[in-house]
Amino acid sequence: MLNALTPQAPDKILALMAAFKEDTRDGKIDLGVGVYKDASGLTPVMRAVKAAERQLVETQDTKVYTGLAGDPAFAETLSSLVLGAARPADRLAAVATPGGTGAIRQGLELIQMAAPEATVWMSDPTWPNHPAIIKYLGMKAGTYRYFDNETGGVDFDGMLADLAGVAPGDAVILHGCCHNPTGANLTLDQWRAVATLLEEKGAVPFIDIAYQGFGDGLEEDAAGTRLMVEAMPEAIIAASCSKNFGIYRERTGLLMAVAPSADKLKVTQGAMASLNRVNFSFPPDHGARCVSMILSDDALRADWAAELEEVRLGMLSLREQLATALRDRVGSDRFGFLAQHRGMFSRLGATPEQVEAMRRDHAIYMVGDSRMNIAGLNAETVPKLADAIVAAGV
């Protein structure tokens, strides 16, 4: 049987990581990998996470399975963090998942279960796992324009024009904040316009919120998601704790679904739990329990929020440093969009050839579409990147 297997296309980011590791040049810069790193290149364990883990070791008296949906306290605390006052408790179904990717997968399977003929619409560009999972599941896919390479901002007119083609029952994937891979976000007015359009069309928003707290702040980054939940009769939300809690390897995510009515909550919750059962049975608990402990303890929550704010401000500072360095070198503000983007990523607007030139000549590694991880920089490497961008003719 296994003789019939054929080679799978290599993951571009993993291949980039391998090439970076093999590069023996001093001063090489990794802007490809999609994890937060501090100025020393370390992805640290947050103070509140360490404190919660210490408490957990001392107080936990069993490793028995949680329920199919995971620990109810995790669903309650994380959904409250994401949705705030917009959280519709009488219509909100939720299940814990293995990371945000698991939540995306389960959300897509929920759509497939409810509406097998639905088209799932994605921004162009989007996180590569969105189209990969949709293709694997055999679902119909559509794209809408999103990023304007000329301005470095959102092509909102193009987005609305393309979304005018959605059909009733279709699902539209929206990035809750810190758009991956571009860093360009919708304004609240644009969120309202999208909500109005989707409601008119009878489509369902599927919001992927993986970077809450990395952009403009915990509350500000959730504003678009909350607006959409308040405006729409139904919504699906996939949340990740990998970035804002720094627990990447714990695989901690939550899938939420806002049912159209309180009467439909039980069947929606049951469908989501059944998907957990056939995919992985019981979800992982260690990271989820640490998150719920942090969010339900005032002191831990305050320390976590303070450290997360330090991370956010540090990335904003790097953005401003890079935009300023490029302004000094090119004599214009054409790279000013880098300071306006939010989150870890920005799409530079370089061609694959220019990206390759930066790798070849300057040992700077970024994805071929010129997505770069701002968190891979520090005060010393910003000028090196600016020089390389100019030398490559971007």
3-class secondary structure, 182? coil
Residues 183/216, Cβ–Cβ less than 8 Å? no
Catalytic residue among 96, 103, 127, 325: 127
d(CA 122, CA 173) in angstroms, rounded, equals: 5
**Of the candidates 73, 75, 87, 72, which has an alpha carbon nearest to the alpha carbon of residue 225?**
87
Amino acid at 267: V
Residues with Cβ within 8 Å of residue 6, at least 6 apart in sequence:
none
Q: Which residue has the tokens 């090196």?
A: 384
Catalytic residue among 30, 155, 208, 285: 208
d(CA 248, CA 182) in angstroms, rounded, equals: 21
Does residue 21 have an active-site annotation? Answer: no
Read off φ and ψ for residue 30, nearest 5 degrees: -100, 105
**Of the candidates 251, 254, 63, which has an alpha carbon nearest to the alpha carbon of residue 176?**
254
Q: For helices 298-330 and 286-296, what crossing angle results, to 10°?
A: 100
Measured over the CA atoms of residue 329, residue 334, residue 339 and residue 341, the dihedral's sign is: negative
d(CA 221, CA 217) in angstroms, rounded, equals: 6
Q: How many residues does the chain have?
A: 394
Catalytic residue among 171, 210, 239, 259: 210
Taking residue 352's Cβ as centre, other Cβ atoms within 10 Å add up to: 11
Taking residue 8's Cβ as centre, other Cβ atoms within 10 Å add up to: 6
Does residue 18 have an active-site annotation? Answer: no
Does residue 208 have an active-site annotation? Answer: yes
Catalytic residue among 51, 223, 235, 243: 243
DSSP secondary structure string, 334-351? TTTHHHH--SSEEE----
Does residue 210 have an active-site annotation? Answer: yes
d(CA 30, CA 384) in angstroms, rounded, equals: 12
Tell me which residues are annotated as active site.
127, 208, 210, 243
